[in-house]
Structure 1
Amino acid sequence: MGGPGSDSDCSLAKPGFTSGDSSLVSVNTGCLHVNSSTKKGRRLQLCQMISLPFIPILALVAQTLIILLGAISSQREAATIENQVDLTVEVGRLLSALQQERLEIAMHIFQGKDRQTNPRLELSSYFGKTDDAIRNTTAAFTSKYDSWNSIFGSKVNFMDHLSLLSMKRLSVLELNEKTDREDDEAIKEIEWYNIANDLILDQLSTRIRDTSSTHAWRNLIAYKYIIKSIENFSISIVYGLYYFGRGRLTAYSYARFVRFDSLAYDYLNASQQFSPLIFRDYANFMKTFQHTQNMSITRGHIYNNVNISGNKEGAGIYYEYMIAFIDELRTYQERLRDVILLAVQEDLQDATQKQTLSVGILILVIMISPVIVSLITNATQTIQAFSQVLVEKGTEIKRERRRCDRLLSQMLPAPVIKALKERRKVPAETFDSVTVYFSDIVGFTNISSKSTPLEIINFLNSLYKLFDAKIVTYDVYKVETIGDAYMVVSGLPHRNGIRHAGEIATLSIDLVQSLKKFKIPHMPGEQLQIRIGLNSGSCVAGVVGTKMPRYCLFGDTINVASRMESNSEPMKIHISQTTKWLLDKLGGYMCEYRGTTEVKGKGPMDTFWLIEKEGGIRKNLEIELPGYMDADEEPDYFYDLAD
């Protein structure tokens, strides 16, 4: 391609070209790289500026909604837990009544014959208490929970089981009056109560959640465990009464005692792990309870299942202090219920406060959003107006800089311009191998004498436009034009091996062929002819001058090339021996020996005519384009200087 300093750079931008002016300076803003210099870009920028502040606002709204939904969920959960704990109070009374009735029946079975009172009359009072508890629970469920289905749902097993209560009571009483009954048979009759209580406990455990977002979840677990502990202690007491009443447990009853006693203590220990309240109060109770040692000893006896004679008095004492122990556990149950309800109330208050705060934040965001939109719109419009002024000024500066660079490129190569812009020195540089082209117009003095100055300028401009259009297709650099003289070089400022000889040779052939169709604008009947001279060798290139710096070549190679041109003939290409050698190395060029030529300052030299290139050269269609021979067309650099 042509060197960056060639005059042809001006012809790359056609006269009146302004399409690039709007893109000289573009302000791309935002993550979408919106060009704010256009109307559409300003609209997009305004939308972007308005939307960006709302991203954190939307995040705040989303967070607030999450908090609000969480508060509503916590409120519902706390209300559910409160309802569940309240439900256990009603069911707990029934559960206690069934447990007490079971213990009293066990006492009558294993020492009823030694009592002075009528077993039927004494048990009837406990049966009445249980019936009252059933009626009260049923009434409470009717007013608060609609029915027993609040606990048992679609399961009717408990109601069916409860309907057998009267029949089971009668069966136990009749069994107690038999003299030939088996104790294990009586125990199995009592297990009806175990099944009833298990049904209640299973459903309570299902209804009361083990985990919860409230602060009461640990106490809820402890609450469930203490209820189960009481139930298992109550069952184990039945087998303890069996042991004291009969002196020894059967294998079946022994296994049942071990199971329920172990479960009772496991649930009690687990409840202490989840509730510091139970842990502390239970430890204090066991220190002050007067039967603590008796409980431990009795438990050991039963576990050992040592055969003793029936001890009715011991059974009564065992019954009394175990009832006291269970009553103490029931106080823990009541305290835990109060703690849970207090925690639930705190959670309800906290949820209400969060809801109030969240609603307040949402209302505030809705109120200030229009204000934010208005402020951002005004600020964005102000910024856009200011940026538009900057874009216009930047466009003018960019355009002027482009003009300056293009004018500089007419005088200096691009590497030299870059070095000067970077305030670096540009030392002279030696090039070992270049090819220099010189040409001038044959009979230029005669043409000038017949033409006006303006016609000469238009004529040379048309000619050099043709030359400039040609050199852009070759790896050459236009050095200068002086009058009718035209100087081109290849191999600098970018070195290209020995290709420079081929580039200049092909260019010379192309120019000679193109001039055969060239017409002098004001003298169309005259055929324009030029002389061309080529020489290859070394030279030195550098910037000369400070006021109007020029890129100049120095060396004997330039002088010989000038002599080749002055000793040439019209429409012929005169080359030196050194150029001939390089073309022979490249191959593909036909040369003819001219003979020995007397060269001023050098003496006789063998020179040659360059005839043609094998295979011809590519036809250049630019000569056929309109404008190259238009005498009225102004030079390209006029447009660079125009405002």
Structure 2
Amino acid sequence: MCEVRVNKVAPKTSMKARGRGRGGGGGQGGTPDRPPVTLRRSSLISFEGEDENSRVENSINMVTVLEYQNDMQETIDQVQISTGLGNVTEALQSERAEIAFYLFTNDSVIRGNLTEHFKYTNNLLNELTWPQFRQEHELFNNKILFRIRLDDFRDKITKFDTPSVQAGIAFYNKANYIFLDQLTSEISEKDAAGVWRPLLAYKNMIRAIEHLGISMVFGLQYFGRGALNQKSYIAFVTNDALGYDFLNTSQNFEFWITDRYRSLQESYAWYANITRRRLEVLGRTKIDPDFDKATEYFYAMLGYLDALQKIQYEIRHVIERTLFSEMNASNSHVVIGIALLCVVLLISPVIILLVRMMTRTLQAFSDTLIHKTHELAYEQKRSDTLLYQMLPPTVAQQLKQLKQVSAETYESVTIYFSDIVGFTELSSESTPMQVISLLNALYKMFDSRIELYDVYKIETIGEVYMVASGVPQRIAFKVHISSDTKEELDRVGGFIMKLRGAMEIKGKGFMETYWLIGKHGVVGDRQPLQEKVEEMDVMAENPHSEKVNNNIILL
């Protein structure tokens, strides 16, 4: 029988080798049939054309990516810490089972198997980064103190210095409880990549294995001692129920675990034996101690828990793959963002220089445009001034607005002609520049005078200066003088008006016309100057009428 036991311990050695590889590979065919969807995070870095707003937005987005990457790195670190805690917990669980088997079979197990387990657990403890445990217990203040207490307990166990089975496994139960509490707290606090479902499945699978391992201890007690007291029986039922409850909950979080577990039930040859022995323990029928059944139950449960641990490793690998995939994607985003910012920083001086040059060009163009606008306004004013000199302002405005200028009729206007007496003889005796200077000085004097009154210059032809009042603006009855003033003007004036008679005026029919006769004659035989005005279509009313008397326009 010892030879049989040695052969059955051999698979445990392979489990330890797998444990040294941080959990080993997944069981039952490797990766899940339905691999979990890797959560891809869309790129936050924009490749659009860079402007000030997009550069700020890309900087903010890259900071967000870095924060997200930091969260995932913390999650990976915590998963790695939980991996170390999980390996130590599994080693303690296995060690607890071996010690229980050693105690309940009265040292029938080979002593070297326990020594090998102790060495394996010590190696895992040496590699473990000791965390700050949430549970305050003197044994877990530091690693050295825990190792001393663990070695002391091992010595007592191997010497059968334990007063009872419950006291023998109490230390391992307490240690596993604190390790599992720390492990599950580390898992529950981190979920940066959205892998909460496999994380919770992993957490529940660990607890399921722990409770089933505790129930196995009491099952060994039942078959090795032949009976369970009330306290041990309650402990078996409680841990057995909790173990399968956590196992079912783990399957609810990740449905592919259900397929794995069903495959385990169908492929594991000892599963029916486990179910049968479990029902026997639940029946609590008193039996004779049977070391063969105890050994059979021990190795069957050990293989069953080992298969569950393979599913647990597979869940952990799914979590790690998801996290590393997210980390790689995040690293790509960060690299792209940094490269983009570097490109922006490199081309920014060129952009700034081009913007400054463009600004200067626009400023110079603006100054030139303002200068040209002023010149244009000045030339426009000169053009308008010249146009107003050539045409009446109202007519000029209509022409500028591209309007059609229609002929207008004026009821009453006053026209004035001036002529230089002897201009022909004077011109023949003077140089051209002298004539031009004379006319220019004379007409400037006339222009300055008529600006003081409502008079419009019609034209100048040679020495003739023609002005009109009442056109183009009608100003009848604007200036009034008394009859006495008019008589005085007639007395001192150079001309008198003499009725000529009715004459046909073009466009007006027959109207009364007058002669303008100079008051003072010329020495010699020459007749007084008489200017006929009918050629100019000059019209006037009777000089004795009220309208003529009261509408004299001064020149």
Q: TM bucket by the smaller chain?
A: 0.5 to 0.7
Residue number in structure 2 paired with 1:566: 547
In 1, the alpha carbon distance for the partners of 2:84 and 2:545 equals: 126
Q: CA deviation at 1:325?
A: 0.9
Distance 2:545 2:219 in 1: 137
Mapped to 2, the partners of 1:270 and 1:426 lie a distance apart of: 100
**What amino acid does structure 2 have at the position aligned with 1:97?**
A
Report the Cα offset of residue 369 of structure 1. Answer: 2.7
Does residue 1:206 correspond to 2:185, yes or no?
A: yes
Residue-by-residue CA offset, 1:170-220 (whole Å, 9 max, x unaligned) = 888999987xx8xxxx54763442221121112223334654445876554
Q: Which residue is equivalent to 2:215?
A: 236
User: Per-residue deviation at 1:326?
Assistant: 0.4
2:286 is the counterpart of 1:309? yes
Residue 462 of structure 1 pairs with residue 441 of structure 2? no
Task: Find the residue that maps to 2:452 and give its secondary structure.
Answer: helix
Larger deviation: 455-464 or 396-405? 396-405
Q: 2:62 aligns with which of 44, 67, 72?
A: 67
**Residues 454 and 379 of structure 1, relative CA distance in 2, 3 Å threshold:** closer
- Tell me: CA distance 1:489–1:124, structure 2 relative to 1, closer, same or farther (3 Å): farther
1:139 pairs with one of 109, 112, 126: 126
Contact 2:399 2:405 survives alignment (8 Å)? no
Instruction: Compute the displacement of 1:276 (Å).
Output: 6.6
Higher strand content, 1 or 2:
1
Query: What is the distance in 2 between the residues matched to 1:409 and 1:132?
Result: 122
Offset, 1:228:
2.4
| Structure 1: distance between partners of 2:65 and 2:339 | 16
Aligned residue for 1:366? Answer: 345
Residue type of the alignment partner of 2:343: L
CA distance in 2, matches of 1:246, 1:417: 129
Q: Partner amino acid for 1:233?
A: L
Change (3 A) 1:149 1:482: same
Corresponding position of 2:298: 319
Query: Which amino acid letter does the alignment assign opposite residue 97 of structure 2?
Result: L
Report how far residue 102 of structure 1 moved.
Answer: 3.1
The one-letter amino acid paired with 1:411 is T
- Taking a change above 3 Å as real, the CA distance of residues 485 and 210 of structure 1, as seen in their structure-2 partners, is same
Kept after mapping to 1: 8 A contact 2:195/2:322: yes
CA shift in 2, pair 1:155/1:351, >3 Å: farther
Structure number with higher relative contact order (C-alpha < 8 Å, ≥ 6 residues apart)? 1
Give 1:462's aligned amino acid: L
**CA gap 1:564/1:163 in 2 versus in 1, 3 angstroms:** farther
Q: Is the 8 A contact 1:64 1:361 kept in 2?
A: no
After TM superposition, the structure 1 stretch with the greater mean CA deviation from structure 2, 93-102 or 204-213, is 204-213
2:260 is equivalent to residue 281 of structure 1: yes
Report the number of matched residues. 411
Q: Distance in 1 between matches of 2:294 and 2:51?
A: 74
Check the 8 A contact 1:94/1:137 in 2, yes or no: yes
Q: 2:468 aligns with which of 476, 483, 489?
A: 483
1:197 to 173, 176, 185: 176
Instruction: Name the SS for the 2:394 alignment partner.
Output: coil
Out of 83, 88, 92, which is 1:94 matched to?
A: 88
Letter in 2 for 1:158: F
Give distance in 1, aligned partners of 2:136 and 2:377: 85
Asked if the contact 2:417–2:467 (Cα under 8 Å) also holds between the matched residues in 1, the reply is no
2:240 equivalent to 1:261 = yes
Name the CA distance, whole Å, in 1 between partners of 2:159 and 2:322. Answer: 50
Q: Deviations over 1:598-640 (max 9, x none)?
A: xxxxxxxxxxxxxxxxxxxxxxxxxxxxxxxxx9xxxxxxxxx
Task: State the Cα distance separating 1:349 from its structure 2 match.
Answer: 4.9
Query: Between the two proteins, what is the percent identity of the paired residues?
Result: 23
Cα separation, 2, equivalents of 1:482 and 1:258: 133
Question: Helix, strand or coil for the counterpart of 1:463?
Answer: coil
In 2 relative to 1, CA 56–323 (structure 1 residues): closer, same or farther, beyond 3 Å? Answer: same
Q: CA RMSD in A?
A: 5.8
Q: Which amino acid aligns with 1:321?
A: A
Aligned counterpart, 1:590: none
- Following TM superposition, by how much is the alpha carbon of 1:487 offset from its aligned partner in structure 2, in angstroms? 8.3
**Residue matched to 2:537:** none
Secondary structure of 1:483 counterpart: strand
| Shift, 1:289, TM fit | 1.7
1:432 is aligned to none
Distance 1:92 1:396, change over 3 A: same
For residues 392 and 237 of structure 2, what CA distance do their matches in structure 1 show?
Answer: 108
Residue 531 of structure 1 is matched in structure 2 by none
The whole-number CA distance in structure 1 between the counterparts of 2:287 and 2:120 is 34
Instruction: State the 1:149 CA deviation.
Output: 4.3
**Is the Cα–Cα contact under 8 Å of residues 270 and 300 in structure 2 kept in the other structure?**
yes
Q: Cα distance 1:329–1:317, how it changes in 2: closer, same or farther (>3 A)? A: same
Distance in structure 2 (CA, Å) of the matches to 1:310 and 1:410 = 135
Which 10-residue stretch deviates more, 199-208 or 126-135? 126-135
* Equivalent-residue separation in structure 2 for 1:404 and 1:137 (angstroms): 104
Q: Secondary structure at the match of 2:285?
A: coil
**Partner amino acid for 1:461?**
E
Q: 1:448: Cα distance to partner?
A: 12
Shift of 1:350: 4.7
1:354 and 1:445, CA in 2 relative to 1: closer, same or farther beyond 3 A?
closer
Gaps of 5+ in 1: 1-52, 429-436, 466-480, 491-503, 516-525, 527-562, 572-630, 632-643
TM-superposed deviation, 1:361: 3.1
Change (3 A) 1:196 1:80: same
Q: How does 1:360-439 map to 2 (within 5 A)?
A: 360-379=339-358, 381=360, 393=372, 396=375, 404=384, 410-411=393-394, 421=402
Task: Give CA-to-partner distance per residue, 1:52-89, whole Å, 9 cap, x none.
Answer: x9962673475267437735862x55655555444445
Q: Which has the larger radius of gyration?
A: 2
Q: Does 1:158 align with 2:135?
A: no
Between the aligned partners of 1:567 and 1:348, the Cα distance in structure 2 is: 109
Partner SS, residue 286 of structure 2: coil
Structure 1 pair 268–394 and aligned structure 2 pair: CA distance change class (3 A): farther
Q: Secondary structure at the match of 1:229?
A: helix
5+ residue gaps, structure 2, are: 1-47, 421-441, 456-465, 482-491, 493-543
Shift in CA distance, 438/202, structure 1 to aligned 2, threshold 3 Å: farther
Aligned partners of 2:275 and 2:395: how far apart in 1? Answer: 113
Could you tell me how far apart the structure 1 residues matched to 2:215 and 2:68 are? 41
Distance 1:217 1:132, change over 3 A: same
Partner Cα distance (2:443, 2:75) in 1: 109
Alpha-carbon separation, structure 2, partners of 1:399 and 1:156: 100
1:599 match:
none
Please list, as runs of the form range in 1=range in 2, the aligned pairs for 1:351-362 lying within 5 A after superposition: 353-362=332-341
1:309 maps to amino acid: K
- Answer whether contact 1:227 1:333 (CA < 8 A) is retained: yes
Q: Which residue identity lines up with residue 308 of structure 1 in the other structure?
A: T
Kept in 2: contact 1:230–1:326 (CA 8 A): yes
Q: 1:312 to 1:93 in 2, by over 3 A?
A: farther
Instruction: Normalising by structure 2, report the TM-score.
Output: 0.54
Contact 1:162 1:196 in 2 (8 A): no
